[in-house]
Structure 1
């Protein structure tokens, strides 16, 4: 009598109707690769996935990231980036990481987008430090058709220096010039579509603190449009705030989801390990 082998199925529960889901499979099932395609599909559907207390090692997190699209190198060429405001850990990146306290999309200076990211909790903060997410797929889909038609072909200039002004509004000239030199080509800015068209046919908004201005609009109209869309996208029912437990992993669709860290004690040693998933094209 032949043995019947049951295929692993994705098990999850929705967090909110328009954003988020918790994955209920075991670590072994997740790392098997058998449900990787289903995870990718669900990620685009809900924007952010929570793996409660999965306790990934760095090696397991890289393996998982590879299974759902491939691990891209971080800014210094590493596979795992340690997110901490401890200068002994991240001396060169502490000022850059302060921008993560405001709504943003990762990698807007990159030639190729970051398709998604995975964060694992290693050290909890003494207070604060939740990570908030906003589903820009469903936020876009709930806009009126008139608004969608207006946004369809707009382009936005994104710049790193714009994001740094959120936490350092009066930089020195040397600071400003350093920010303006960042990015893969050293230009410090990139023109991106306001409405990102995914291979699946779905569309989402690309917003956040790097969004400096809309091409072809006055500074006044550009600011009103970008801030208004961000306010819409980060409101209920598109918003989810994750309160970290030690060992949690959270994965989000970086081309369809905004995120930010909530304030926390900068000296508490809060530590998250990040891996990023390769993207295809900004379009």
Structure 2
């Protein structure tokens, strides 16, 4: 007589409104049996932390593929190296300076990535180099009803070039033109998801709210960012070697917290292809 067994997700909540620690074994995670439960937990909690799970690159890729369609970033499909060290990542180190400020990935794409998975190979010294996360589903849900009604149909121009001024207030014209050449896109301030849930679309790529006075536009963008990144809706992860963190790119913002670019901090990233376009009516 056969006995059917189902692997159960082992979870601890990090904070009331953001984050879960997943305590299952590497073997359980790689089996794929937990994929559905992990997807549900990710949407509900914004980020999932796998403490010191110690995936190598092949295992990280295999685990990513259990959760959805793998979004290969390079020609060889290997995880991307995420570091500000120009010796390790000369092409991306300049662009990654924008990652030190709150943002959502893919604001210029038709369909943003669903999620990113980041594993720690070399942490920065303690007290630096954390990664911060903000649950923009929870931040929207907690807004007063009058604010929800006010922001419901607002549209915002997003462009990677807007983030340039966060880390280089006086860029050259050539650099500005180069960043502007990457593209820009009008997005909803409130993303109405196919699931019925709503999240705020914010971050350093925001330039202005359409059809709103420029002073009021700035107050809306920065005020909502301040709200969404308050203690209630955020979590700062202090990395240890072997940690893996997944975040829902459709309902969170994230940022790297400052560290010495020469300290050797190294993360490896994989991604899941997006499944839902920005909701533009």
Same topology, TM > 0.5: yes
Cα distance in structure 2, aligned partners of 1:146 and 1:75: 45
- Aligned residue in 2 for 1:64: 63
Whether 1:204 and 2:203 are equivalent positions in the alignment is no
Cα distance in structure 2, aligned partners of 1:195 and 1:32: 36
Within a 5 Å distance, the mapping from 1:34-53 to structure 2 comes to: 34-53=33-52
Cα distance in structure 1, aligned partners of 2:141 and 2:74: 33
SS in 1 for 2:271: strand
- Aligned residue in 1 for 2:247: 252
- Aligned residue in 2 for 1:282: 278
Deviates more, 1:222-231 or 1:271-280: 271-280
- Aligned residue in 2 for 1:271: 266
Cα distance in structure 2, aligned partners of 1:203 and 1:77: 36
| Matched-pair contact (CA < 8 Å) for 1:71–1:79 | no
C-alpha RMSD of the superposition:
1.3
SS in 2 for 1:29: helix
TM, length-normalised to structure 2: 0.95
- Aligned residue in 1 for 2:133: 133
Aligned residues: 277
- Residue 69 of structure 1: how far off its partner (Å): 1.7
Deviates more, 1:71-80 or 1:92-101: 71-80
Cα distance in structure 1, aligned partners of 2:256 and 2:75: 22
- Aligned residue in 1 for 2:171: 171
| Matched-pair contact (CA < 8 Å) for 1:72–1:79 | no
Cα distance in structure 1, aligned partners of 2:193 and 2:26: 29
TM, length-normalised to structure 1: 0.95
- Aligned residue in 1 for 2:230: 235
Cα distance in structure 2, aligned partners of 1:122 and 1:110: 29
Deviates more, 1:85-94 or 1:225-234: 85-94
- Aligned residue in 2 for 1:195: 190
Would the alpha carbon gap of residues 95 and 252 (structure 1) be closer, same or farther in structure 2, given more than 3 Å must change? same
| Unmatched 5+ stretches in structure 2 | none
Cα distance in structure 2, aligned partners of 1:61 and 1:282: 28
- Residue 166 of structure 1: how far off its partner (Å): 0.4
- Aligned residue in 2 for 1:185: none
- Cα deviation per residue 1:40-82 (whole Å; 9 max; x = unaligned)? 1111111011000011111211122121121113277845211
Detail structure 1 runs of 4+ shifted over 4 Å in the superposition. Answer: 75-79
- Aligned residue in 2 for 1:90: 89
SS in 1 for 2:111: coil
